[in-house]
Amino acid sequence: MDTFATTDTVYAHSKKREEWGYAILAFESDDRRGFQFQDGRLRVFKIGYYELLEPVLPKPDGTPRIVSNLKAMLAKTVDERVRPAKASDKPALGFDAFVTVAKDLFPEGFKGDEYDAKVRGSQATRRLKRHRDAAIEDARERLGKDSFGALTPAAARDMLRDVLKATDLVNAKQLAPIDAVPSENLEELQASVIAMLYGTGPYEARFERFAQALEVGGNVSWELATSPGAMVHPDEHLWIKVTPMKRFLARFSPVLSLTPRVTGFTYTRLVAMGASLVEGLNNAGFEARDFFDIAHLLTEITKAPSLQRLDAMAVPEDDD
């Protein structure tokens, strides 16, 4: 499973460093981003210098070939430079190890009455906060483009809060920024929700707009920022629970990290990783219905007993 390059966007240095060639994103950490260039170099840019890398559209039909070549180059670079640095800590695990432990946790995959009762709730007579199918249906109805857009900004804020409060996706502290958004900013909050869920254009920018609309009310958690999209479009968007995601990335994706601040840049790369998980798990017979099945698996597989098994399966690379 490719965990190195998670975007097909091609970049070029704004200062016309033609000798470097095009680039793709390699990784992002709290204060820097790395880009793999066609000249073979993995260059790291600190925060404040990201704008030097501008998205570009190479000549027609050139992008797929450029991206493919850069991904292959990046994989080699990671093998040579990144993985050895991690080996003394927690070596990156292969997908086979992930599937082995996942099958022990869910021998029927994401099927069966027990799984449905605990996670999906499709047959439940009474909705529980953990039931994902009911949360999806509720969000699609109450956050619908026309119905949500017809509300006053204050009523839209209340509706968003109530939809989230009916789930276990966010806790009271994580919900607080919604109620703390000043009245003069509520129109933008409502507009940002509609744009994120139903707008056109790059999702990264639409997600970023929503996160920034919430930030005027306080610190925005990954759980809060990713819940609406995950409920309305569960086939496209991944709900992020911070602790499980950090634990997963530490073991399986050495060049991805969950930044403290919510950003569209990071989120779109995590969604791409999640899509790879869906594909790999479904090939192994899990039959994920949507990203909520993946989010639940990440929560369970990063609990202490499973982590101990996974860490025991990690074999440090040879120093030769």
pLDDT value, residue 69: 77
pLDDT value, residue 34: 84
Q: How far is CA 110 from CA 9, 65, 117, 162, in A?
A: 33, 36, 11, 28
Percent of the chain with pLDDT over 90: 59
187 versus 14: the higher-pLDDT residue is 187
106-119 tens-digit pLDDT: 999 999 999 999 99
205-223 tens-digit pLDDT: 899 999 999 999 999 999 9
| pLDDT surpasses 90 at 174 | yes
| pLDDT surpasses 70 at 156 | yes
pLDDT value, residue 265: 79
| pLDDT surpasses 90 at 8 | no
pLDDT value, residue 59: 63
Q: Kindly report the pTM of this predicted structure.
A: 0.74
| pLDDT surpasses 80 at 320 | no
pLDDT value, residue 50: 78
Tokens describing residue 190: 């409502």
Alpha-helical runs (H) found in the chain: 63-81, 83-87, 95-105, 113-115, 132-142, 145-149, 153-165, 172-180, 186-198, 203-215, 222-232, 242-252, 264-283, 291-301, 304-313
pLDDT value, residue 318: 47
- Decide: helix, strand or coil at residue 150: coil
Give residue 258's pLDDT band: very low, low, confident or very high (50, 70, 90).
Answer: confident
pLDDT value, residue 60: 57
pLDDT value, residue 20: 84
**Among 3-17, 90-104, 116-130, the least confident range:** 3-17
The mean pLDDT value of the chain amounts to 87
In degrees, rounded to 5, the angle at the alpha carbon of residue 25 between the alpha carbons of residues 22 and 26 is 115
| pLDDT surpasses 80 at 187 | yes
Distance CA 95, CA 206 (A): 31
pLDDT value, residue 91: 55
pLDDT value, residue 61: 56
| pLDDT surpasses 60 at 83 | no
Tokens describing residue 88: 């003394």
| pLDDT surpasses 50 at 39 | yes
Could you identify the residue written with the tokens 């958690």? Answer: 221
Nearest residue to 70 (alpha-carbon basis) of 35, 120, 96: 35
| pLDDT surpasses 90 at 259 | no
Percent of the chain with pLDDT over 70: 88
| 135-171 as b/e: b if 16+ CB within 10 A | bbebbeebbeeeebeeeebeebbebbeebbebbebbe
Tokens describing residue 25: 């994103």
Q: Looking at this protein, which amino acid is placed at residue 60?
A: P
Give residue 86's pLDDT band: very low, low, confident or very high (50, 70, 90).
Answer: very low
